[in-house]
Structure 1
Amino acid sequence: MYANSAYNAYTENYIGIESPYKLIEMLYEGVLRFNAQAKRAIKDNDIEKRVYWTNRSIAVLAELKGSLDFKQGNVAKYLDGLYDYQIKLLTEAGIENSLEKLEECTNVFKGLLEAWRETTDVA
């Protein structure tokens, strides 16, 4: 459900994307952007926006999970588990109004984005 909407949103906005590597980078950036909005909503005690933005991040994570190629080895298995854990954190952050859990997810995606850029030469 969320996976298709996340993918469609990005492809509609970036029809000219040449590389699937760039799409992954954009998805990572999307999680960071949506988490920042969720953080603001938590600080403002805006329940509706908190739920909206955490759900947007979860949708992107679902798309990332769906794009994993398990034929490529252990990295895909590791990322699958990592993405599952991030979904759990975001869900709990939304329910519990937890900045700490949201920040934990954000920090993971900052690291993933940096590593992705380094290994794919996409800047």
Structure 2
Amino acid sequence: MIPNKAYQAYQNNAVQTASGGELTLMLYNGCVKFIKRAMKDMEENNYENKNTNIQKAQRIIQELMVTLDPNVELSKQIMPLYDYMYRRLTEANTSNEIAYLEEVHEFVVEFRDTWKQVLQKAKHHEPKRSNG
């Protein structure tokens, strides 16, 4: 189990040293992962794991909602989408309708990919630091 502990330490360090933007990207990636797992669980009729993975995805959506700045206009536009995704995950969990998971998965992937582009552009426009 030593390699597992080393990986966990690496993951913890990655989270602790990440910027706010990188943390948001990690949240999107985690949400995608849990939705994919829930879809697989649903296909395999593993309802306990499906429930667990959907709840993990919902907690990530809640975290994304909490981190939105209500004073920013874009946040006011994103909040209803996050709310819709959260409710759709609930519906997927109660109805075992995989199409609902697929729909939320598409939204999250779109958010993640857009966020990744924002981070890349921001990194490109950072002022260069001098060493002297």
The TM-score with structure 1 as length reference comes to 0.85
After TM superposition, the runs of 4+ consecutive aligned structure 1 residues lying more than 3 A away are none
Q: RMSD of the TM alignment (CA)?
A: 1.7
Deviations along 1:50-106, one digit per CA (max 9) or x if unpaired, are 110000000000000000001121x10111100000001100001111110000000
Unaligned runs of 5+ residues in structure 2 are 1-10, 124-132
The TM-score with structure 2 as length reference comes to 0.79
Q: Which amino acid aligns with 1:15?
A: Q
Q: Percent identity?
A: 26
Count matched residues: 111
Unaligned runs of 5+ residues in structure 1 are 1-10
1:29 paired with 2:29, answer yes
Quick one: higher RCO (CA 8 Å, sep 6+), 1 or 2?
Answer: 1
Task: Give 3-state SS (helix, strand or coil) of 2:31's partner.
Answer: helix
Work out the CA distance in 2 between the residues paired with 1:97 and 1:82: 21
- Return the index of the structure with the highest Cα Rg: 2
The residue that corresponds to 2:55 in the other structure is 55
